[in-house]
Amino acid sequence: MEFLNHLGGVFEPVAFLLLLGGTIGGLILGATPGLSPTMAVALLIPFTFQLEATQGLILLGAAYTSTVAGGAVSAILLKIPGAPANIATALDGHEMAKNGQGAKALHISFLSSGIGGVIGVLLLIFLTPVLAQWALAFGPSHLFWMAILGVTVIGSLDSKSFVKGLLSGCLGLWLSMIGYDDIQGAQRFIFADALTGGINIISALIGIFAIPQVIEMFAKGRIASSISSLEVEKQSIWASVRETLGYKRALSIGTVCGSVIGLIPGVGGQIAGLLAYDQARKFSPEREKFGSGYAEGVVAAESANNAMVGPSLVPLLTLSIPGSPTAAVLLGGLLIHGIFPGSDLFDNHPKVAWTFINSMLVGQILMVIFGIWIAGYAAKVAKIPNPIMAAAVLVLALFGSYSIQQSMGDVYIMLGLGLGMFFLEKFGFSAAPLVLGLILGPIAEANFIQGSMIATAGDGTLSYFFGGVLNLFLIALVIASIAYSFWASIVLAKKTAPKPEVTK
Partner 1 sequence: MKKLIAAMALSAFAFTPGIGAAQAADYPDRPISVMVSYGAGGATDFQARIVTMMAANEKLLGQPMVIINKPGAGGRVGWNWFASEAETDGYTLSAYNVPHFIAQSIKGGVKYSADSFEPIANWGSDPAVVIVPKDSPYNTIGELLDYAKANPGKVTMSGAGLFVGHHIAALQIQKAIGAKLAYIPTKGGGAAAMKAVIAGDVIAGVNNLSDAFRAREAGNVKILAVADLERNEKFLPNVPTLKEAGYDVDNSSVNFRGIMAKKGTPPEIIEMLAAKVPEMFANGRVTKQMNAGGSPIKIMNRAEVQKMWSDRQAFLQELLKDLK
Partner 2 sequence: MNSARLQHLIPGTLVLLLALTVVWLSFTREPAESFLFPRLISVVMLALAFWNFVRAATGLAKVGTGFTASLLVTIAPGVAVMIIFIFFLAKQFGFYVSSTIAFVAIYAIYDPAPHSDPKSWAKRVGVAIAFMVLMYGLFSILLKVQTPRGMFF
What residues line the site for partner 2 (CB under 8 A)? 32, 35, 43, 160-161, 163-164, 166-167, 170-171, 173-174, 177, 181, 184, 186, 188-189, 211, 214-215, 217-224, 226-227, 385-388, 390-392, 394-396, 398-399, 402-403, 406, 408, 411-412, 414-415, 419, 423-429, 441, 444-445, 448-449, 500-504
Considering only 321, 393, 414, 432, the residue that binds partner 1 (CB under 8 A) is: 321
15, with CB counted inside 10 A (0-12, 13-18, 19+), is: buried
Number of Cβ within a 10 Å radius of residue 187: 12
From 74-82, 100-108, 166-174, 189-197, span contacting partner 1 (CB under 8 A): 189-197
Pick from partner 2, partner 1, none: which does 475 bind, CB < 5 to 8 A by kind? none
| 472 SS3 class | helix
The footprint of partner 1 on residues 41-60 (CB under 8 A) is 42, 45-47, 49-51
Considering only 184, 225, 228, 503, the residue that binds partner 1 (CB under 8 A) is: 184
- Residues with Cβ within 8 Å of residue 142, at least 6 apart in sequence: 470, 471, 474
Q: Does the footprint of partner 1 cover residue 82 (CB under 8 A)?
A: no
Considering only 28, 98, 100, 139, the residue that binds partner 1 (CB under 8 A) is: 139
Question: Closest distance between partner 2 and the C-beta of residue 216, in Å?
Answer: 9
Q: Quick one: 350 or 387, whose CB is closer to partner 2? A: 387
Q: Which of 244, 30, 265, 4 is nearest to 122 (CA)?
A: 4
Question: What angle separates helix 237-246 from helix 102-137, to the nearest 10 degrees?
Answer: 40
From 37-45, 69-77, 209-217, 472-480, span contacting partner 1 (CB under 8 A): 37-45
Pick from partner 2, partner 1, none: which does 332 bind, CB < 5 to 8 A by kind? partner 1
In contact, 120 and 259? CB cutoff 8 Å: yes
Q: Which of 161, 99, 212 is nearest to 501 (CA)?
A: 161
Pick from partner 2, partner 1, none: which does 340 bind, CB < 5 to 8 A by kind? partner 1
The footprint of partner 1 on residues 261-280 (CB under 8 A) is 265-266
DSSP letters for 209-271: HHHHHHHHHHHT-S-GGGTSPPPPPP--HHHHHHHHHH-HHHHHHHHHHHHHHHHSTTTTTTT
Q: Does the footprint of partner 1 cover residue 469 (CB under 8 A)?
A: no
Q: How far apart are CA 41 and CA 47, in angstroms?
A: 10
